[in-house]
Amino acid sequence: MLLKKLREEVLEANLELVKRGLVLYTFGNASGVDREQGLVVIKPSGVDYDVLKPEQMVVTDLHGKIVEGEFKPSSDLDTHTLLYREFLDIGAVVHTHSEFATSFAQAGLPIPAFGTTHADYFYGPVPVTKVLTDEAIGGRYVHETGLAIVERFRQGGIDPMAVPACLVNGHAPFAWGRNAHDAAHNAVVLEAVARMAYRTVSLKANADEVSQALLDRHYFRKHGAKATYGQ
């Protein structure tokens, strides 16, 4: 069985999404990449989380060609593989339809950086993509979804490791990280900050985002060469 350890890590990430209430039924998926071998491990499409096993994970190359697996890969595979090809520092991708982050995506709105909880994980607002054209939707839709994410980051000059998530307009969020555990963790935090942002604007529609000084203080205490948080 190829990539046994990575299969186990990807399975654990998928189950974490269920445990934290980010997915219903077979919604959502997680994947991981082995950069040395150029191979991706991803959840099979439509298989119930209750019965998922490491050997059921599907292995593909970075262009989505199946290398090993008896099941069809997640229908979002082309988005995952495109993100791996374009964002070279990421090691895993998670896609959910979590309630609050998806609400922002459906509204076509970014998630503002209202406070320090957000700043601990995302160095600025979580962006939202442009609306996909009818042509994109009718063509290679899943591939076009990935292109829209990459385009948003490139045009906005956003570092995908500093803001490890994006909302797909009218759809739902994608998150990523250095490994499968990290990506699932970021997806869980994304939903938490989306919930807080929703409640913030419910209380005060014109609430100000956190100051640059406070954003810097909280983000860089956890990230970068001078991080001080943790052991």
Read off the pLDDT of residues 50-78 as tens digits, 9 standing for 90 and up.
889 999 999 999 999 999 999 999 999 99
- On whether residue 230 sits in a domain, the answer given is no
pTM: 0.95
- On whether residue 33 sits in a domain, the answer given is yes
pLDDT exceeds cutoff 90 at 26: no
Q: How far apart are CA 127 and CA 163, in angstroms?
A: 9
Select which of 25, 120, 134, 208 is catalytic.
120
121 is catalytic: no
Residues near 165 by Cβ (< 8 Å), separated by ≥ 6?
101, 122, 126, 173, 174, 175, 176, 186, 187, 190
pLDDT exceeds cutoff 90 at 222: no
- On whether residue 229 sits in a domain, the answer given is no
- On whether residue 20 sits in a domain, the answer given is yes
How many CB atoms within 10 Å of residue 35?
12
pLDDT exceeds cutoff 60 at 178: yes
Domain that holds residue 56: 4-222
Q: Cβ-count burial of 101 within 10 angstroms (0-12 exposed, 13-18 middle, 19+ buried)?
A: buried
120 is catalytic: yes
Distance of CA 163 to the CA centre of its chain: 10
- On whether residue 31 sits in a domain, the answer given is yes
pLDDT at 49: 87
- On whether residue 16 sits in a domain, the answer given is yes
Confidence of residue 167 (pLDDT cuts 50, 70, 90): very high
- On whether residue 11 sits in a domain, the answer given is yes
**Number of domains composing the chain:** 1
Torsional sign, CA 135, 137, 139, 140: positive
Mean pLDDT of all residues in 3-11: 97
Select which of 141, 159, 216, 229 is catalytic.
229
- On whether residue 53 sits in a domain, the answer given is yes
184-188 contact pairs (CB < 8 A, 24+): 184/12, 184/13, 184/14, 184/16, 184/17, 184/30, 184/92, 184/94, 185/16, 186/94, 186/121, 187/17, 187/22, 187/94, 187/96, 187/98, 188/16, 188/17, 188/20, 188/22
pLDDT exceeds cutoff 80 at 228: no
Mean pLDDT of all residues in 221-227: 77
Looking up residue 145, the CATH number of its domain turns out to be 3.40.225.10
pLDDT at 224: 72
